[in-house]
Amino acid sequence: RAMQMQPNVVDYHRHRAASLAALGKLEEALADYSRAVQLKPHDDVARAECDRLRDLVAQRAAATAASPE
């Protein structure tokens, strides 16, 4: 609810992103970290997490595409 009232608070996006990543919801976490970077471009932590999650999402997609059904 706090994010609805103040959607431009970087910490809200970072905290939710960390929670989503811990739950394995990588695409949703990436979206929140990306928003944090948009709001605060020099946020090195959020930027590093974006890079890490992009790699994980790509690895997951590659593994899914390579696995036989």
pLDDT above 90: residue 67: no
pLDDT digits (tens, 9 = 90+) for 3-49: 565 667 788 899 999 999 999 999 999 999 999 999 999 999 999 99
58, with CB counted inside 10 A (0-12, 13-18, 19+), is: exposed
The token pair that represents 16 in the structure block: 């939710």
The token pair that represents 64 in the structure block: 């899914």
pTM: 0.82
Say how many C-beta atoms besides its own lie within 10 A of residue 53's C-beta: 22
Q: What is the pLDDT of residue 5?
A: 59
